[in-house]
Amino acid sequence: MKRCLGLLSLLIFPLPYSHAQSVDAKQAFAGKWISTVDVFSSQIYMTIDLKQQDRKLTGKFGNDALEGTVDGNSYHFLAKDENGGTEEVTGRLEGGTLRGDVIETPGSDPKHPFRYTFTATLVKTRSAAPPQRHEFTPTVFYRQFSPFNKSVLTINPGDTIHTTTVDAGGADEKGVRRVLGGNPETGPFYVESAMPGDTLVVHINKLRLNRDYAVSDDQLVERAMDSRLAVKMKDTGKDVRWKLDLAAGTATPEKPSEHLVKYTVPLRPMLGCVATAVGPTQAPPNTGDSGGFGGNMDFNEIVEGATVYLPVSNPGALLYFGDGHAAQGDGELNGNALETSMDVEVTVDVIPGKRPPQPRVENATTAIALGIGGSIEDAFRAATSNMASWLTDDYKLTPSEIAQVLGTAAQYKVAEVADRNVNVVLKLDKERLKTLTQSAK
Amino acid sequence: MKRCLGLLSLLIFPLPYSHAQSVDAKQAFAGKWISTVDVFSSQIYMTIDLKQQDRKLTGKFGNDALEGTVDGNSYHFLAKDENGGTEEVTGRLEGGTLRGDVIETPGSDPKHPFRYTFTATLVKTRSAAPPQRHEFTPTVFYRQFSPFNKSVLTINPGDTIHTTTVDAGGADEKGVRRVLGGNPETGPFYVESAMPGDTLVVHINKLRLNRDYAVSDDQLVERAMDSRLAVKMKDTGKDVRWKLDLAAGTATPEKPSEHLVKYTVPLRPMLGCVATAVGPTQAPPNTGDSGGFGGNMDFNEIVEGATVYLPVSNPGALLYFGDGHAAQGDGELNGNALETSMDVEVTVDVIPGKRPPQPRVENATTAIALGIGGSIEDAFRAATSNMASWLTDDYKLTPSEIAQVLGTAAQYKVAEVADRNVNVVLKLDKERLKTLTQSAK
Amino acid sequence: MKRCLGLLSLLIFPLPYSHAQSVDAKQAFAGKWISTVDVFSSQIYMTIDLKQQDRKLTGKFGNDALEGTVDGNSYHFLAKDENGGTEEVTGRLEGGTLRGDVIETPGSDPKHPFRYTFTATLVKTRSAAPPQRHEFTPTVFYRQFSPFNKSVLTINPGDTIHTTTVDAGGADEKGVRRVLGGNPETGPFYVESAMPGDTLVVHINKLRLNRDYAVSDDQLVERAMDSRLAVKMKDTGKDVRWKLDLAAGTATPEKPSEHLVKYTVPLRPMLGCVATAVGPTQAPPNTGDSGGFGGNMDFNEIVEGATVYLPVSNPGALLYFGDGHAAQGDGELNGNALETSMDVEVTVDVIPGKRPPQPRVENATTAIALGIGGSIEDAFRAATSNMASWLTDDYKLTPSEIAQVLGTAAQYKVAEVADRNVNVVLKLDKERLKTLTQSAK
Amino acid sequence: MKRCLGLLSLLIFPLPYSHAQSVDAKQAFAGKWISTVDVFSSQIYMTIDLKQQDRKLTGKFGNDALEGTVDGNSYHFLAKDENGGTEEVTGRLEGGTLRGDVIETPGSDPKHPFRYTFTATLVKTRSAAPPQRHEFTPTVFYRQFSPFNKSVLTINPGDTIHTTTVDAGGADEKGVRRVLGGNPETGPFYVESAMPGDTLVVHINKLRLNRDYAVSDDQLVERAMDSRLAVKMKDTGKDVRWKLDLAAGTATPEKPSEHLVKYTVPLRPMLGCVATAVGPTQAPPNTGDSGGFGGNMDFNEIVEGATVYLPVSNPGALLYFGDGHAAQGDGELNGNALETSMDVEVTVDVIPGKRPPQPRVENATTAIALGIGGSIEDAFRAATSNMASWLTDDYKLTPSEIAQVLGTAAQYKVAEVADRNVNVVLKLDKERLKTLTQSAK
């Protein structure tokens, strides 16, 4: 079986919220509510969008249109889904908390209704306070992109965090092992007002090396080898330690073999992982995994100056980052890049009410749609589809125009092939995007 | 970064154990120990294989050869890995528990040793008690193949369990919703003496339908569609309820459309999920996922009479099963087969000291190597590699002989393409295997 | 650049013909014409479908609607394509041959019209003569599925051919090398009345071995090996000769190694290649290639009793077959199956006016849609799309119904992975198809 | 059946030649001979490498070691292959032509020897004449990369050709249609002394536009679309004509739709096709195909200043080029780039005795290994394998060193996904290669 039946269908396309509401006695129910639903001890989020006209209620319960009535603090409504199913809801509004008892009758199985309850709060509006800068010293590092890890710091949209990350093996800037390896992350950071369905914006202000060595190895990953190359590489797999010369901006193997005595790579510090927590009904992925939520993307253009756009799946977004690389070739071909600790400063923001199908990255000159999938083929298609959505959503291009722009301006790079998921990116030069004409609104 | 550095390398190829030890004062340390290691609050398993000759200790600490000495209840040894790293261990044996303090010095980074502790117990030998039959009524259903879910029943190898499973959406044999959907599982069952590195054997004695309907839908999954077919299928995606006629052994759509008025499918009950828990350092996968541990394999030959072989990654193996299908075409093309509840009886056993690279299945006439991977290409290669290992391990075939047998007798089936991982199987008729000559030993 | 511009677009969807016309003075132009067009010394086929009402002409020039007039034996018409281009045609009908001079003005480039000429003849109707049986002894064997090889025999639809094929290396039933290796073919056979856009039906009446040995080897093909298996197989690649015991119905290695001393495979003679010639504007593929035209499909169910359906791309269809295998596992994993010569009897027929997107095969119990593509993924999608078209075309199923049938009844097999193209097949049991309700017409 | 049996195995790894021989009576047989073998009216090339010591002959017949004797102008030798097969050769040397009658006895089938003949000439040495510049006006354009097309000009290594190419649709610099579309090519050019096993070097001195428009379209190719994007693009597929402003260096759609009114793309003229003819036993591919021989690679860095390295498979190499694009995004996503005619000047050279497994390209700053295969996965592996061979052959790197260099410096680009084969390239910055230490020889 592939997908969940029933209730979860409510969640597939959460609606955008408007984040400003006036609170008014006659409008006490009106607004966008984020509800926490307890279903057989699993917790899920659902949005409820209510319009109140005197005693009449309309709006959406998840994706389903609802109609009902208000009676003082009590309310009652009926919502209908596309398959002929219904949700009958009764409850009360008390102290800013909307409670409800739901009887869900599946259209495909009307004889077996089931019941659950929820509690909801009005979606927070963005803080008007001036942006702050937070110095944060991590003491715990997580190994899953989980919504259930306790957030380490709460910030407002617009705020800046200055912190550090340990290397992929768990060693910090002093080389002290702090945690079991596998890309342990700094975070999660709770971002006020960020809600499921929003976009989290992570701008990397500074990304600096803070120690003088990195650890890597000398093998090639499975996906890079045909049978001839596999036979050639059969005896590799040793650790290789690299010296990082921060002043010169170069990396060199500490004990180079014959032909690499003068081999030198320019330092180009990057973050292998930037992620939001996955939704509460998903199994939290380990920090070697990637997906729509970002994660271990290992893309060597997530460097100082880049901005990363990620979908929000939980209240507060729950931002994680880690897995710094002093330098990395495309593909992360040997499975470990030049793994090292980092000094990181990011500014975080929220774009309410829309989110990309897969992560996006932007820098001064380029717009980049990531495609993350189980094979290079799937990732390639995902990147193309992600960029096509971008051109539709932000530039209003028609399908014909999308083909003309991609056909003349697409730049594809295979970003990573080392992990369970693969990452292919589609880049567009902003010079091209500037020549697009915005629709008259 | 792809893989964990350092400590975890100990675990990659756990050694086989012999499960019988004589306990003797002068041999108090000798034997196979399973240790639980606490590393920065992550827990991992490691095997320690000790030989004692008077005061001298030799053997293996994980994969690393060790040498040391015993002094009463105290001991001390040094183990060396392939990269020039060492583990220096000191500890005591008290009340059957072996405790140790470890200083691990990585070969790639000798200036940064780190410390951890372990406690170990002798690997249990297989019970000599006669096999038992357990009637088990599930009250909780898990949604991750996790080693951290509390086991619901402890059994011995050779025992039989009779129980039920809910459908993929969480509804039981009475159609009552018991849990959130997504293939909730019955289990985990703890199997005494099963240890990491062993094989768990799950023989399906009985697999019977216990209600008169199943739920499915009418779409095709992404992997099955080229662009022409995607356009054709663009408006599908509705739930479809099927009537199960247990007496006649057939399924029919409850409200068939014009051309399906007489459409009939034979019932062929199968389990979509059979799994052992993943190792404790992995993120527990959701019950829609599959891998070396088995899981949501959705293979329509896991039916009554089949035997499933799965690798063990935790003490007790921790067996899960669920996601019954009344019938399913190859590929599980519409994402949901005929999802229904089941009456299940399995007999469970353990093969110590070896485990397959990926799951295997056997029935009266066929040996089947599963290949689970992120694309059909990868799954195809994994299935071939799994069967080649089988022919090497159990039949001692040379590479040339493997090619001759596979070239003439391989049968490939695409088992499932609906989930994140794909499942391709390679089947060999046992009539062919019978004509293979065993090596004189 | 991917596809041809301009003229060729006329050919993409040739229209169905009705193959019976009455010839009548006032209707001399009416009917379906097959024209041979000479474009810069390349030759292409195009259909012209004319309706005549007194002096008025209407119909289709390729896919483009035409209107014009007749003046005695002379005519003139103008056809228009979807891109705003036109073809202006003038010519004469003399002695049953329609000649035309064309000025084609591309819509995308109206300033650069170009000119070509054609000659056309009325499409032949199917012969009413009783079917014949042809004994055919091949003297030449072709190594490309070319439309330019001289046909070796002309037959009528319904006729039967009895002949032989050499093995993949070019050796005949006496072991005499007759031609360079690489699947040399018997044929091409010209089938009267078969026209581009039709389906060629090849029923294999008899397929018998005619010598006592086959040649194979002991390697695995690239697509079957992950890196671990590639390293294991690195020293294989030797020829292996097999003894065919026609009386016992078994094959055994002539000089078996230790574990294969008693290894026995049942004989199951199959044709690796059945093909129609590709269209005249394609580069003729070598006889190791496969595609929509069939070719080297290496599918081990193309055996005695099977019927193969192939698209026709040239007048006469030009049927080729060869590459007999005494037995073959799925995938043809070692690149060469048990290659041998064959005694073949086929009955050939034509279904006018429709053709499958990729080859199809049928036997007594199963309908099989082949999917041929450059990767297993692509082949899998192609097979699914081919079967979906079959269910639409012949059973009128809606998209929802297609998903319900495939989801419950699909059987996928990986047929071949040894060549440039891969072959995956989707099989449906005819018992299922029988329960489909035909639309009332 | 996948590969040819028998004779062709001689050709798989042709040996390097030294191209200079002294001719001396007592050494009349000594040297590298290129023989043309007539096998059942197919023609293949084979190298014969003879060493003569008085009457004794040694050397290689293809890949097989030979021993024999000379008697005046007559000779006789016996060669042995790895499978226990032999070739017995007798013949005469007359007027510089070596003739031979061969009896080949396959090791796998010794009862069925077969016979063929060859004629051989000494491999030509490179001309010492000063390089020439050839003005060449094409009058014929070929649509297959065939060794059987008559060469249009013979040049020496080091010579320069100045000529033109028509666009992919066959239209020349005046917009006049000269040939049927599908990437018709200029050439083939015969390069003296180039022999099978050599590398052809094609340096693009000048690549200039010679008309003011290009033709493209507005669709996306199959490989770029997931199902969501396929549905979005379902109504595209129209031709789009672009205006080329050679002075400004820009391209713009001639009739832009709303959002593309100001859309502008910089001109970056490239050659979609550069190829050597395939070997004489292969079916000549159409000019939309690509492979080890180069062909329709559609790589947008094959521009002015680039050098292309291609394997030679025929005497004279037989160089083709065409399919100019005024500009093209990575992937050639809409199937047709900005297709146009070109003014081309190339300098051609030969590197004797070694050849790359797949094409390579070099420019002032980058070394580029192409990977051409049937899927993006296969092409990715092919590119990696091609670059690994390059680093082994030219830089003598060990497998460990290859992994370290690729892991830190690889740059992958998806070059083309529009055709039957896909092209992925692996680029290395020459700055990195400069820091590699050459082995002391």
- Each residue's pLDDT tens digit, D47-57: 899 999 989 99
Indicate yes or no: CB of D231 within 8 angstroms of CB of B226: no
Tell me how far apart the terminal alpha carbons of chain A are, to the nearest angstrom.
44
Residues 102-121 of A with CB under 8 A from B: 106-109, 111-112, 114
pLDDT interval class at A125 (50, 70, 90): confident
Q: Give the pLDDT band of residue D440 (cuts 50, 70, 90).
A: low
- For residue B12, the model assigns a pLDDT of 32
Contact between C193 and C316 under an 8 Å Cβ cutoff? The reply is: no
Chain C's closest residue to B402, CA to CA, is C218
What value does the mean pLDDT take over residues A120-147?
94
**Helix, strand, coil % in chain D, rounded to nearest 5:** 15, 40, 45
pTM (two decimals): 0.92
pLDDT at D10 over 70: no
Listed by start position, the domains of chain D span: 2-122, 133-355
Pairwise CB contact (< 8 Å): D230 & B231: yes
pLDDT band at residue A82, thresholds of 50, 70 and 90? confident
- Who contacts C369 (Cβ-Cβ below 8 Å, separation ≥6)? C356, C358, C360, C383, C384, C386, C387, C390, C425, C426, C427
D346 pLDDT above the threshold of 60: yes
Convert the pLDDT of each residue in D67-109 to its tens digit.
999 999 999 999 999 888 999 999 999 988 999 999 999 887 7
Confidence tier at A320 by pLDDT (50, 70, 90): very high
Q: Is C133 on the interface with A (CB under 8 A)?
A: no
Q: Do C231 and A230 touch (CB under 8 A)?
A: yes
pLDDT of A23 higher than 60: no
Name the minimum distance, in Å, from the CA of C225 to any CA of chain A.
Answer: 7
Q: What's the CA gap between A14 and B306, in Å, rounded?
A: 42
* Chain D CB within 8 Å of residue B226 CB: yes
Q: Does B329 touch chain A (CB under 8 A)?
A: no
- Residue whose entry in the numeric block shows the structure tokens 């357990």: B134
* Region of C406 on the Ramachandran plot (φ > 0 left; ψ -120 to 50 alpha; else beta): alpha
Residue C20 has pLDDT above 50, yes or no: no
> Order of strands across the sheet with C319-325?
C153-155, C185-191, C319-325, C270-276, C294-296, C290-291
- Contact between chains at B1 and A420 (C-beta distance less than 8 A): no
Least confident of A91-105, A378-392, B390-404: A91-105
Distance CA D147, CA D279 (A): 7
**Chain B contact present for D234, CB below 8 A:** yes
Q: What is the pLDDT of residue B24?
A: 53
Nearest to C437 among B262, B436, B439 (CB): B262
Chain A residues with CB-CB distance to C227 below 8 A: 222, 225, 227, 230, 233
Is C220 touching B (CB cutoff 8 A)?
yes
pLDDT tens digit sequence for B309-349: 999 999 999 999 999 999 999 999 999 999 999 999 999 99
pLDDT at A260 over 50: yes
Chains linked to B by 3 or more Cβ pairs within 8 Å: A, C, D
**For residue C14, pLDDT beyond 50:** no
Structure token pair of residue B11: 């675990």
Distance CA D46, CA D66 (A): 14
Q: Are strands A360-362 and A294-296 parallel, antiparallel or unpaired?
A: unpaired
pLDDT of residue D125: 85
Strands (E), D181-247: 185-191, 199-209, 213-217, 239-245
Average pLDDT of span C382-393: 97
Find the mean pLDDT for residues C333-349: 97
Confidence band, pLDDT 50/70/90 cuts, at residue D21: very low
Q: How far apart are CA A113 and CA D193, in angstroms?
A: 83
* Pick from B175, B181, B191, B190: nearest CA to B143: B181
pLDDT in the model for residue A372: 98
User: Helix A399-409 and helix A376-395: axis angle, to 10°?
Assistant: 120
Does D397 contact A at CB distance below 8 Å? Answer: yes
Inter-chain residue contact B437 with C258, CB threshold 8 Å: yes
pLDDT tens digits for D188-227?
999 999 999 999 999 999 999 999 999 999 999 999 999 9
**Surface of A (342-381) touching D: CB under 8 A:** 375-378, 380-381
pLDDT band at C25 (very low <50, low <70, confident <90, very high): low
Higher pLDDT, C277 or C12: C277
By Cβ distance, the residue of C236, C388, C396 closest to B229 is C388
Any idea which fold B2-122 has?
A: Lipocalin (2.40.128)
Q: CA C4 to CA A30: how far, in whole Å?
A: 60
A283 interaction partners in chain B (CB closer than 8 Å): 143-144, 283-286, 289
A327 touches chain D (CB under 8 A): yes
Cβ-Cβ contacts under 8 Å, A170 against chain B: 5-6, 40
Q: Give the angle D358-D360-D364 at the CA atoms, nearest 5°.
A: 175
Residues of chain C contacting residue D109, judged by C-beta atoms under 8 Å apart: 171, 175, 213, 215, 241
Instruction: Specify the range with the lowest mean pLDDT, choosing from B12-26, C157-171, D24-38.
Output: B12-26
Mean pLDDT of C326-350: 97
What residue type is B388 in one-letter code? Answer: A
Residue B327 pLDDT: 98
Buried b (16+ CB within 10 A) or exposed e, A274-286: bbbbbbbbbbbbb
Residue D13 confidence (pLDDT) above 70: no
Position C40 scores a pLDDT of: 74
Average pLDDT over residues A345-360: 95
| CB of D185 less than 8 A from some CB of C | no
- Confidence at residue B21, expressed as pLDDT on a 0 to 100 scale: 41
How confident is the model at residue D15, as a pLDDT? Answer: 31
ipTM of this complex prediction, to 2 decimal places: 0.90
Inform me whether the pLDDT recorded for A8 exceeds 80. no
Residue A24: per-residue pLDDT: 52
Say if the Cβ atoms of A229 and D385 lie within 8 Å. Answer: yes
Residues on chain C touching A407 (C-beta within 8 angstroms): none
- Does the structure show a pLDDT above 60 at C324? yes
Chain A residues with CB under 8 Å of C237 CB are: none
CA distance A167 to chain B (A): 9
Determine, for residues B238 and A83 on separate chains, whether the beta-carbon distance falls below 8 Å: yes
Which of D222, D227, D233 is facing B222, going by the closest CB pair? D227
Confidence of residue C194 (pLDDT cuts 50, 70, 90): very high
Helix, strand, or coil here: D405? Answer: helix
- pLDDT higher than threshold 50 for residue D9: no
Report how far apart, in Å, the C-alpha atoms of B352 and of each of B19, B111, B192, B315 are.
Answer: 7, 39, 12, 12
Using CB atoms, pick whichever of C225, C262, C409 lies closest to residue B265: C409
In this complex, is the C-beta atom of D240 within 8 Å of any C-beta atom belonging to chain C? yes
Q: Shortest Cα distance from D334 to chain B (angstroms)? A: 14
What are residue A119's phi and psi, to 5 degrees? -130, 140
With contact defined as beta carbons under 8 Å apart, do B11 and B35 qualify?
no
Q: Facing residues of D133 across strands?
A: D160
Mutation target to probe the D interface, by most D beta carbons within 10 A, among B3, B226, B227, B231 is B227
Yes or no, beta carbons of A410 and D331 under 8 Å apart? yes
Do D307 and D363 touch, CB atoms closer than 8 A?
A: yes
Size of interface A-B (CB pairs under 8 A): 191
Cβ atoms within 10 Å, residue A85: 21
C221 interface with D at CB cutoff 8 Å: yes
pLDDT surpasses 90 at D396: yes
Helices D376-395 and D399-409: angle between axes, nearest 10 degrees: 120
Res C99 pLDDT > 60? yes
Please name the residue of chain D whose CA is at the shortest distance from the CA of residue B231.
D231
A2 to B332: CB separation less than 8 angstroms, yes or no: yes
- From chain D, the residues in CB contact with A329 under 8 A are 406-411
Q: How far is B236 from chain D (nearest CA, A)?
A: 13
Nearest partner of D212 among D188, D168, D239, D248, judged by Cα: D248
Low-confidence ranges of chain B (pLDDT < 70): 1-25, 439-441
The per-residue pLDDT of chain D, averaged, comes to 91
What pLDDT is stored for residue A218 in this prediction? Answer: 95
Return the residue in A108, A227, A231, A417 with the most chain C beta carbons within 10 A, the one to mutate for interface testing: A227
Res C125: pLDDT:
85
> In sequence order, what E strands does D54-198 have?
56-61, 64-71, 74-80, 86-94, 97-105, 114-122, 133-135, 153-155, 160-165, 185-191
Contact D436 A399 (CB under 8 A): no
Q: Record the tokens describing residue C329, joined without a space.
A: 């596992």
Q: How far apart are CA D76 and CA A58, in angstroms?
A: 99
Find residues 261-320 of chain B whose CB sits inside 8 Å of chain A. Answer: 272, 281-286, 288-289, 296, 298
Contact at CB, C231 and A231, closer than 8 angstroms: yes
For the segment(s) C133-355, the CATH number from 3.90.550.10, 2.40.50.140, 2.60.120.580, 3.10.20.30 is 2.60.120.580
